[in-house]
Amino acid sequence: MSKKDHVTYANFIKAANELKEEGLQPSVRLVRLKIGGSNSTLLEYLRRWHSDTALSASVDQQISDPLKDALLMEFGRVTQSLREKFQVEVNQERQQNKEVCELLAETESRCVEIEAKAHADREQAAAAILKLEKQLSAANERAAELQRQAEKATQKADKEISELEKKVGQLREEAHQAQIKAAIAETKVAAMGKA
C-alpha cells in the first residue's frame, strides 16, 4: 500500500499541530507534504479539524495536547457516527416515501380504471334500457330488471370509488408525513455537517 493509503485522522491532527507549532497555518498542501494522502481525504480531515478545534477553543480550562487530540478524535468519531446514523434514517425515510408514492400511484391508477369501467357500465346500461323501451310491452319487465342490475353495479362501483378515494387520502397523508420526516432528518444531517 502507498503512503497515502495509511493517512488517518489521528495522523492528520498530529501533522496539523506540528504545523501550528512551526507558526504555519495547516492546509491540504502543507499536510500532504508532511504525511502524504489524497487531496479529498485531507480536505475532509481539514474541515473536521477546523470544526473540532473551534469547539476545543471555546473550553476555558487548559487541557493537555494529547488529551485534547484524543478528545478531538473521539468527537470526530462520534460526529461521523451520528452523521452516518442520520444518513441511514434519511435513506430509510426516502425509501418509505418512495414506496408510499408508488402505492399512491397504483391506487390512483386503479381508481381511474374503476371510474372508466363504471362510466362504461352506465353507458351500456342506458343503451340497453333505450333498446328495451323500443321492444314489445312484454319486454318491459326484463328492462326493469336490467335497470335494477345497472343501479346495483353503479352503487357498487360508487362505493368502491368512495373507499379508494378514502385510501388515496390516507396514502397522501402518509406521503406528506414521510416527506416531513425526511425533511427533518435532512435538516439534522445538514446541521451535523455544519457542526
Q: Is residue 62 very low, low, confident or very high in pLDDT (cuts 50, 70, 90)?
A: low
Q: In this predicted structure, what is the pLDDT of residue 60?
A: 47
The answer, yes or no, to whether residue 57 has pLDDT greater than 80, is no
Which CATH architecture best describes the domain 3-61?
Orthogonal Bundle (1.10)
12 neighbors 47 (Cβ within 8 angstroms): no
CB atoms within 10 A of CB 42: 25
Q: Are the beta carbons of 26 and 15 closer than 8 angstroms?
A: yes
Percent of the chain with pLDDT over 70: 92
pTM of the complete model beyond 0.75: no
Residue type, 103: L
pLDDT in tens, 27-45: 999 999 999 999 999 999 9
pLDDT score for 166: 94
Distance, CA of 121 to CA of 115 (rounded, Å): 10
pLDDT in the model for residue 129: 74
The pLDDT confidence band at residue 135, using thresholds 50, 70 and 90, is confident
Contact by Cβ (8 Å): 182, 90: yes
